């Protein structure tokens, strides 16, 4: 049976204010861990991840800001857009297939969607934020 690729959209709505750099580093770490585990973390993947981190670096995630991930059916790319109140939407295109695949897996991978180290890191970060 042949399954046709399907276009996917994923929208993340911010519920607690954080710096974009915090989010970018979490995403980078989760994707890098997965790529390293699959022995696919090379220079090209590192560069693609650095661009994503840079994209989020200058952003401030106010409550109700949105991050939209668009994975077209016909290419191994992703478009990430960020929108927050009072600012124009900004976008970045990710063209490294390995990075795109692992962002998709991080969010849409079911029970394996998040690595144990990411869960641990998120838990530590959240508890530190909550005890401030």
Which residues are within 8 A (CB) of 91 and not within 5 positions of it... i.e. 6 or more apart? 79, 80, 81, 82
Q: Confirm whether 3 is domain-assigned.
A: no
End-to-end CA distance of the chain: give it in Å, rounded.
54
Q: What is the CATH number of the domain that holds 50?
A: 3.50.70.10
The answer to whether 35 touches 45, Cβ cutoff 8 Å, is yes
Give the model confidence (pLDDT) of 24-52 as tens digits. 999 999 999 999 999 999 999 999 999 99
Give residue 120's Cα distance to chain centre.
17
Q: Confirm whether 1 is domain-assigned.
A: no
Residue 98 has pLDDT above 90, yes or no: yes
Share of the chain above pLDDT 70, in %: 90
Based on DSSP, count helices (H) and strands (E) in the chain, helices before strands. 4, 6
The structure's pTM equals: 0.78
pLDDT at residue 3, as a whole number: 64
| Domain encompassing residue 95 | 8-130
């Amino acid at each position: 049976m042949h399954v046709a690729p399907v276009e996917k959209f994923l929208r993340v709505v911010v519920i607690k204010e954080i710096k974009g750099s915090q989010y970018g580093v979490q995403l980078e770490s989760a994707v890098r861990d997965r790529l390293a585990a699959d022995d696919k973390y090379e220079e090209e993947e590192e560069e693609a991840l650095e661009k994503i981190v840079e994209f989020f670096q200058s952003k401030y995630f106010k409550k109700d800001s949105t991050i939209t991930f668009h994975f077209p059916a016909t290419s191994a790319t992703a478009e990430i857009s960020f929108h927050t109140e009072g600012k124009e939407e900004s976008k970045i295109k990710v063209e490294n297939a390995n990075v795109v695949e692992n962002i998709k897996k991080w969010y849409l991978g079911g029970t394996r969607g998040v690595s144990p180290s990411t869960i641990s890191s998120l838990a530590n970060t959240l508890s530190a934020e909550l005890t401030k």
